[in-house]
């Protein structure tokens, strides 16, 4: 184009006033004359930009001789504006008949062609149409941007973790803050990860899940897992659907963390298995006492099947041996939120009576309201009968033994007064000695029986320095020919009650009674032990210079079990063993060349730790 106006480019001119909202048009033409002519033609209606560098305007008017140099910039501008319409009008000289578009131009670069000489009304009409399309496009883009903004805000504010991934599952395109919080990764770090590094069941499960989502399009759900940045596995309830994301198909996964629910389900499953296999009968009722669950032990214990029991009340077990006042007190206790314990007599489906130790506890909801009751019942019929039998046998044996020994000892004394023959008197002395031993055995059996009448020591403590002084004084009075050495120990207290004194007295006496040396020697000491690295135990040690405890009896006490071929010869060591066991400790016995060492290990009292 020439520097002067060319009639081939500009035809008849006219004037028109531009409106307030004036569109901007950039002229990309060669030649100052043509540029000035076109400016004069357009400036009454549009704002005309004549810069050589591409500017952000509403429409571009490009001459055919300038197209080749401006093409790349115009294509970039169109791509940058997409999807907003960016019109480009080509001014074509009359002698040039065609302008080739690139085969892959999308969208097309040229939207309208105007042939020179330019007719004013035609140019205005065509520019008006193109600019009208642009205004509509801008409005749609603004609506799209507003919708996208609302979507983004909704996307970011959603409590569920959202992941937008490619259908092949190889890339996380987008994610929301909840996804970052769930995984422990920032949004940028998540988008750089392979999804299978954090969202997964296993590779096969994740891939199959995405295939199902792609096939269904929407509404497909299932369970996957998430491995957090810290390496923790979380369980997810995931729903997926496909969507168009910037012109491409993507999959959006909405994941809800169900780890807490999953663990509760696992705990409930574990609880159910435990209750199903426990040896005690377990009954769960609602607040009104209607049975909702019984375990297999209940079925075995009562004879009622699960189907028969569920829906009824525990009255099916009522034997009539408990009063109405008993049941009134039971209900008052458990409805008050307290646990109930009692030993009662129930009746099996067959009509047999049986004795159970019963514990009933309330079950409350999150608000503390009682919703259910759980009852655990242990059949103690056989144990009760054994306790009764042992009690009767013990009483009869001790009573008859004591009375019999009194008769034997009395008659032995009479014989001893009437017999002068030394040899015959030795037989009488043997009878009297044996009778005295049996009487002592009877008294020891009574002592052992009293051990089990005590409650567990609880908060009771024993100061060992004071206890040692007491048992030492008694021992020296009973065995003046023996030597007892008591170590000067630091103040130490153990968790024990008065029964510990009985055990210590028995061990000291045993050390003197079964010692054939002219001078029995016994040592008593105590020391804290850190063998378990906690310092929570105290060893009480008794040593003597006797011949030692027979191996058979020592093994019997240490194992705590007698057999027909291995049993103790008396009750003394059993008394010690049972006493220390009831106090929460243990006994060890060591035979040494110089005598015997017995160690009582007991819990140390808290105040002296």
Q: Is residue 267 part of a domain?
A: no
Sheet holding 248-257, edge to edge: 172-175, 161-165, 248-257, 233-245, 220-227, 199-200
Q: Is 356 exposed, middle or buried (0-12, 13-18, 19+ CB in 10 A)?
A: buried
Q: Which of 360, 353, 448, 354 is nearest to 398 (CA)?
A: 448
Higher pLDDT, 383 or 195: 195
Packing angle, helices 422-451 and 499-513, rounded to 10? 160
Total number of domains in the chain: 5
Structural domain including 427 reads 384-451
Are 94 and 113 spatial neighbours (Cβ–Cβ below 8 Å)?
A: no
Place of tokens 């103040």: 491
pLDDT at position 73, please? 92
Packing angle, helices 422-451 and 572-582, rounded to 10? 10
Let me know whether 363 and 441 are in one domain. no
Question: How confident is the model over 226-269, as pLDDT tens digits?
Answer: 888 888 889 899 888 888 777 778 888 888 999 888 888 888 88
Are 494 and 605 spatial neighbours (Cβ–Cβ below 8 Å)?
A: yes
Q: What is the CATH number of the domain that holds 180?
A: 3.30.450.20
**Triad 115, 119, 122: Cα angle to 5°:** 90
Let me know whether 135 and 108 are in one domain. yes
Are 261 and 247 spatial neighbours (Cβ–Cβ below 8 Å)?
A: no
Q: What is the CATH number of the domain that holds 603?
A: 3.30.565.10
Let me know whether 195 and 216 are in one domain. yes
* pLDDT averaged over every residue in the chain: 81
Q: Is the entire prediction scored with pTM above 0.75?
A: no
Indicate if the pLDDT at residue 562 is higher than 90.
no
Q: Is residue 149 part of a domain?
A: no
Indicate if the pLDDT at residue 474 is higher than 50.
yes
Q: Which of 572, 552, 417, 565 is nearest to 502 (CA)?
A: 572
Q: What is the CATH number of the domain that holds 136?
A: 3.40.50.2300
Indicate if the pLDDT at residue 147 is higher than 50.
yes
Question: How confident is the model over 198-223, as pLDDT tens digits?
Answer: 876 555 678 888 888 888 776 788 88
Give the whole-angstrom CA distance, residue 303 versus residue 486: 62
Q: To 10 degrees, the CA torsion angle through 470, 473, 478, 479?
A: 120
Question: What is the rounded end-to-end Cα distance, in angstroms, of the chain?
Answer: 107
pLDDT at position 397, please? 56
pLDDT mean over 1-25: 54
Q: Is residue 2 part of a domain?
A: no
Let me know whether 107 and 37 are in one domain. yes
Give the whole-angstrom CA distance, residue 160 versus residue 254: 6
């Amino acid at each position: 184009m020439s520097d002067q106006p060319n009639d081939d480019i500009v035809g008849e001119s006219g004037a028109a006033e531009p409106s307030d909202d004036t569109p901007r048009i950039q002229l990309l033409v060669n030649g100052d004359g043509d540029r000035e002519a076109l400016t004069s033609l357009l400036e009454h209606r549009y704002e005309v930009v004549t810069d050589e560098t591409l500017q952000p305007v509403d429409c571009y008017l490009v001459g055919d001789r300038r197209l080749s140099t401006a093409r790349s910039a115009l294509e970039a501008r169109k791509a940058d504006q997409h999807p907003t319409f960016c019109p480009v009008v080509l001014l074509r000289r009359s002698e040039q008949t065609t302008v080739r578009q690139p085969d892959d131009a999308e969208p097309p670069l040229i939207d309208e062609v105007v042939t020179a000489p330019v007719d004013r009304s035609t140019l205005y009409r065509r520019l008006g149409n193109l600019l009208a399309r642009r205004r509509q496009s801008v409005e749609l883009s603004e609506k799209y941007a507003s919708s996208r903004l609302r979507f983004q805000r909704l996307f970011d504010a959603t409590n569920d973790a959202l992941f937008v991934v490619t259908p092949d599952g190889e890339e996380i395109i987008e994610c929301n803050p909840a996804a970052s919080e769930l995984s422990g990764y920032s949004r940028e770090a998540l988008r750089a990860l392979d999804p299978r590094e954090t969202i997964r069941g296993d590779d096969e499960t994740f891939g199959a899940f995405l295939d199902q989502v792609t096939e269904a399009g929407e509404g497909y759900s299932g369970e996957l897992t998430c491995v957090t940045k810290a390496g923790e596995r979380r369980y997810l309830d995931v729903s997926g659907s496909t969507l168009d994301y910037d012109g491409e198909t993507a999959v959006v996964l909405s994941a809800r963390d169900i780890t807490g629910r999953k663990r509760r389900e696992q705990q409930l499953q574990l609880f159910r298995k435990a209750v199903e296999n426990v040896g005690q009968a377990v009954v769960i009722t609602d607040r009104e006492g209607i049975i909702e669950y019984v375990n297999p032990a209940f079925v075995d214990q009562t004879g009622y099947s699960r189907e028969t029991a569920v829906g009824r009340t525990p009255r099916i077990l009522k034997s009539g041996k408990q009063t109405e006042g008993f049941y009134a007190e039971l209900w008052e206790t458990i409805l008050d939120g307290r646990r109930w314990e009692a030993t009662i007599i129930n009746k099996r489906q067959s009509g047999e009576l049986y004795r159970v130790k019963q514990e009933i506890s309330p079950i409350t909801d999150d608000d503390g309201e009682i919703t259910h009751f759980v009852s655990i019942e242990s059949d103690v019929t056989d144990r009760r009968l054994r306790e009764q039998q042992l009690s009767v046998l013990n009483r009869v044996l001790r009573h008859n033994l004591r009375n019999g020994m009194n008769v034997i000892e009395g008659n032995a004394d009479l014989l001893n007064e009437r017999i002068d023959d030394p040899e015959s008197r030795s037989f009488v002395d043997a009878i009297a000695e044996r009778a005295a031993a049996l009487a002592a055995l009877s008294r020891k059996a009574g002592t052992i029986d009293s051990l089990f009448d005590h409650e567990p020591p609880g908060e009771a403590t024993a100061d060992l320095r004071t206890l040692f002084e007491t048992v030492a004084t008694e021992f020296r009075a009973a065995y003046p020919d023996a030597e007892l050495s008591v170590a000067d120990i630091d103040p130490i207290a153990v968790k024990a009650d008065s029964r510990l004194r009985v055990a210590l007295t028995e061990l000291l006496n045993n050390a003197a009674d079964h010692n054939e040396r002219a001078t029995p020697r016994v040592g008593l000491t105590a020391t804290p032990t850190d063998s378990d690295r906690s310092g929570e135990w105290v060893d009480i040690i008794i040593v003597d210079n006797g011949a030692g405890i027979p191996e058979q009896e020592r093994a019997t006490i240490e194992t705590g079990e007698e057999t027909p071929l291995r049993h103790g010869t008396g009750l003394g060591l059993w008394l010690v063993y049972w006493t220390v066991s009831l106090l929460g400790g243990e006994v060890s016995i060591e035979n040494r060349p110089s005598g015997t060492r017995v160690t009582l290990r007991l819990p140390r009292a808290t105040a002296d730790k």
